[in-house]
Chain A
Amino acid sequence: SAVISQKPSRDICQRGTSLTIQCQVDSQVTMMFWYRQQPGQSLTLIATANQGSEATYESGFVIDKFPISRPNLTFSTLTVSNMSPEDSSIYLCSVVRLAGSLLTHNEQFFGPGTRLTVL
């Protein structure tokens, strides 16, 4: 599995501000994703971070609220913009490293998460 780190591990922010979360992987990966996990809930996919191009967002998530960058194959950032208390969640990045045929799904691993509290 890949070694994945996220910064910060947690933060407490005031409403109306923005926070940028970083995800770093120790080796080149084909795919990187950002998920949200609200307290006591399951994981919801926010977007696919595409290297060198705009991220692909899932229904209910927009670029203005969650801008994402992926400048290279090992690093991505997610910004939570104009925060409100409803944005309080754990934000996780995940990666898929191509380990077999292009026709098969490859294992997906998660970073340690960033616990965000918005006051």
Chain B
Amino acid sequence: GENVEQHPSTLSVQEGDSAVIKCTYSDSASNYFPWYKQELGKRPQLIIDIRSNVGEKKDQRIAVTLNKTAKHFSLHITETQPEDSAVYFCAASIGSSNTGKLIFGQGTTLQVKP
């Protein structure tokens, strides 16, 4: 079945450094890739997404890149701040049809040290 692998499972960086989280997916028909941030005890919040017709998307300190050939996509956070500390989940659409269904990666716990 479809699968999304996410690495690393934990990531610790110094404030101001960059953080990179990588995901690979198995379904070649996937064409929508959102990223969610989940703070402790809170709901997952959509922070950025990318569709298969583009290779990169930026929103201030956050960027996502997509390599459809290799079935890889990555989240880049620059100039990290302590409030970036959270669990981050990548996801991929199940198939290309507009079912809205997503499969999630295992999550990355990001710790930003002041």
- Report which A residues bind B (CB closer than 8 A): 1, 30-31, 33, 41-45, 48, 59, 92, 96, 102-113
Q: Number of A-B pairs whose CB atoms are under 8 Å?
A: 56
Chain A residue at smallest Cβ distance from B101: A45
Question: Which of the 9-residue segments B43-51, B63-71, B72-80 touches chain A?
Answer: B43-51
Assess whether A108 is in contact with B34, with CB atoms less than 8 Å apart. yes
Chain A residues closer than 8 Å to B31, beta-carbon distance: 105
Chain A residues closer than 8 Å to B99, beta-carbon distance: 31, 48
Name A48's contact: one of B46, B101, B104 (CB within 8 Å). Answer: B101
Chain A residue at smallest Cβ distance from B89: A42
B102 an interface residue at 8 Å Cβ cutoff? yes
Rounded to whole angstroms, the CA-CA distance of A104 and B104 in the bound complex is 19
Rounded to whole angstroms, the CA-CA distance of A33 and B93 in the bound complex is 14
Rounded to whole angstroms, the CA-CA distance of A111 and B42 in the bound complex is 10
